[in-house]
Amino acid sequence: MNTFISVLIAACAAAFAIFHTYPAPPKSPLLYQWEKEDGGSYFKFQDYDIFFKDVKGSGENKDVLLCLHGFPTSSFDYYLVVPSLRKIFGRIVLFDFLGLGYSDKPRFHTYSIFEQANVTETLVKKLGLSKVHILAHDIGDTVAQELLARQAEGVLPFEIATVCMLNGGILPQHHHPRWSQKILRMPVIGVVASRFMN
């Protein structure tokens, strides 16, 4: 039994050493296009680079739609619906939360919903927006709830006109994270798994 455990530990250590230093796969042409075309850019939040897209719409409605993505994904979640949304809204703003997508991923950083809401506020301020509609998915729902709470307290520097929440854990007692989400929260295994998921 001791030999088996020793071999298992050695195999795990070797796998960690290999995958920890293994280079990320090349970007697909679609992801490259998402980053580089149609208003893809970066802004600073504290010392971190945050990826965002400010997409001009063609709809008669000049309203701004702010899209908040899920976990462990990115603003790319919305790439299939952006063409349809462009016909409805005058402007669509999408960004990658800190630690996800093309945004910086600081290691050993304590991420929080409050911080992601602060990132959102910083972007909205940078773009000079005073009123937005929010389309949120998954963890984006929770960030949207924090922004709504700030609006209710009178401390949000912009107005949220409407919110649409998709597939999120709005009631914590009923939220059941996927196994992949649970793995990403594990100290060592999460680091290795994240190389394959994001």
Segment 126-156, tens digit of pLDDT: 999 999 999 999 999 999 999 999 999 999 9
Query: pLDDT class for 198, splitting at 50, 70, 90?
Result: low
Residue 88 carries which side chain, given as an amino acid letter?
Answer: I
Q: What ranges do the domains of the chain cover? A: 27-197
Percentage, residues of the chain above pLDDT 70: 94
Selection from 197, 192, 196 nearest residue 11 by Cα: 192
Per-residue pLDDT tens over the stretch 86-141: 999 999 999 999 999 999 999 889 999 999 999 999 999 999 999 999 999 999 99
Whether pLDDT at 52 is above 70: yes
Interior CA angle at 167 toward 197 and 134, to 5°?
Answer: 100
Phi/psi region, residue 138 (left: phi>0; alpha: psi -120 to 50; beta: rest), is left
Residues in a beta bridge with 65: 92, 133
Is residue 183 within 8 A of residue 193, CB to CB? The reply is yes
- Please compute the mean of the pLDDT values over residues 58-82 and round it to a whole number: 92
Phi/psi region, residue 48 (left: phi>0; alpha: psi -120 to 50; beta: rest), is beta
Class of domain 27-197: alpha beta
- Helix (H), strand (E) counts: the chain: 7, 6
- Please compute the mean of the pLDDT values over residues 167-185 and round it to a whole number: 75
What is the end-to-end Cα distance of the chain in Å, rounded?
36
pLDDT of residue 172: 66
CA distance 160 to 166: 17
